[in-house]
């Protein structure tokens, strides 16, 4: 798996950190882990399991410990950890920085930075930032839209109608995140975050017309920088020989970076309003997340278990005896 990195200068700019010492190298230093460390035990001499690749954060407790040491003891304690060549040290709360820290910084060429944020707030913000920017990622062909607050990844073969569906979705008041290429990052064990590559952000391609700037055509409310991937819609040309899901009891999933995302396969046929189908899929997903499953309710009624309803006679396919042509409103002549 590829290892991603963030340059220290980007972190300085993002969190408005104040350079104190050796910050000239910030553009060269790469951060490769979202783990950070408060070196309390290390200052006292316990250096087992010290993460050389972690940003070291000095809070009120660490600085108070150093303050209680003599100048010689302080220099020795700092020298022990600076020899480990970690990326940088950040001092929180704009606490006073000891001369021995500056000496160690210059001796080992390790930047010292300062922030006025409290330690816990800075740490949590930094970890969130690094989790996103260092996350495992994959770029996939498709369209990502936000519908009723849910991130919907629309996939399918080239020419099946993904971009046209996305454009109709935008016209109906929802938002475009990415067209054609979607960069998906695994930011936690349960969360996937999708966005467009910078070069094609807010653009959509419609065959026969060309590229459209959605933000300029429909306004800033029609686009969004990034969104979680909650549901996958697979569009495919309708195949008479294939049995498509009719009731929705069987759950389908698409594996993305090791996370199983609920998915639907939607057959495409002239006359079908795919934008409305995607809207309904988003609303149905939200209902399931809130504990209501329409398909399960129907099955319970069919089994005579819900609200005293009489049992329904489902055929083996669970589709009330309709074939696919009837389900699409087609007769044998079409």
User: In 10 A of CB 267, how many CB atoms?
Assistant: 16
CA nearest neighbour of 232 among 193, 281, 183, 185: 281
Greatest alpha-carbon span in the chain:
95
- Please say if 141 is a catalytic residue: yes
- Of 180, 201, 202, 264, which is the active-site residue? 180
Q: Active site residue: 107, 109, 141, 260, which one? A: 141
Number of neighbouring beta carbons within 10 Å of residue 35 = 12
Point out the catalytic residue in the list 25, 84, 246, 272.
Answer: 246
Give residue for tokens 């290390």: 42
Which of 38, 133, 162, 186 is the catalytic position? Answer: 162
**246: annotated active-site residue:** yes
Return the structure tokens found at 304.
């005579």
CA distances from 69 to 75, 117, 156, 271, 334 (A): 9, 25, 65, 79, 88
E strands within the chain?
A: 6-7, 18-21, 30-31, 36-37, 55-58, 89-91, 112-114, 137-147, 150-156, 175-186, 192-195, 203-206, 210-213, 226-228, 231-237, 252-256, 259-268
Annotated catalytic residue 255: no
Going by their DSSP bridges, the two strands 89-91 and 55-58 should be labelled as parallel
Q: How far apart are CA 3 and CA 257, in angstroms?
A: 15
264 is catalytic: no
Point out the residues that are catalytic: 141, 162, 180, 246
């Amino acid at each position: 798996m590829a290892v991603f990195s963030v340059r220290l200068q980007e972190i300085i700019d993002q969190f408005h950190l104040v350079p104190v010492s050796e910050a000239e190298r910030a553009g060269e230093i790469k951060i490769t882990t979202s783990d950070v460390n408060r070196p309390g035990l290390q200052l006292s001499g316990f250096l087992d399991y010290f993460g050389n690749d972690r940003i070291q954060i000095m809070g009120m407790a660490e600085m108070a410990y150093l303050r209680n040491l003599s100048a010689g003891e302080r220099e020795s304690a700092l020298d022990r950890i600076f020899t480990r060549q970690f990326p940088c040290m950040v001092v929180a709360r704009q606490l006073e920085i000891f001369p021995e820290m500056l000496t160690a910084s210059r001796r080992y060429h390790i930047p010292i930075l300062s922030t006025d944020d409290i330690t816990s707030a800075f740490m949590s913000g930094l970890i969130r930032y690094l989790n996103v920017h260092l996350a495992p990622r994959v770029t996939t062909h498709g369209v990502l839209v936000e519908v009723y607050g849910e991130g919907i990844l629309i996939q399918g073969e080239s020419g099946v109608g993904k971009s046209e569906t996305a454009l109709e979705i935008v016209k109906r008041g929802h938002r475009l995140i990415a067209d054609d290429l979607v960069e998906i990052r695994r930011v936690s064990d349960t969360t996937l975050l999708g966005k467009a590559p910078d070069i094609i952000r807010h653009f959509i391609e419609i065959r026969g017309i060309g590229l459209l700037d959605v933000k300029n055509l429909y306004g800033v409310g029609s686009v969004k920088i990034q969104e979680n991937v909650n549901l996958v819609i697979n569009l495919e040309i309708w195949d008479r020989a294939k049995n498509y899901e009719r009731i929705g009891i069987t759950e389908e999933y698409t594996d993305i970076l090791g996370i199983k995302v609920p998915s639907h396969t939607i057959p495409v046929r002239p006359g079908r309003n795919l934008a409305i189908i995607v809207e309904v899929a988003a609303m149905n997903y939200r209902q399931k997340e809130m504990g209501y499953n329409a398909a399960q309710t129907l099955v319970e009624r069919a089994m005579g278990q819900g609200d005293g309803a009489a049992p329904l006679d489902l055929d083996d396919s669970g589709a009330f005896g309709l074939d696919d042509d009837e389900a699409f409103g087609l007769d044998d002549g079409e």
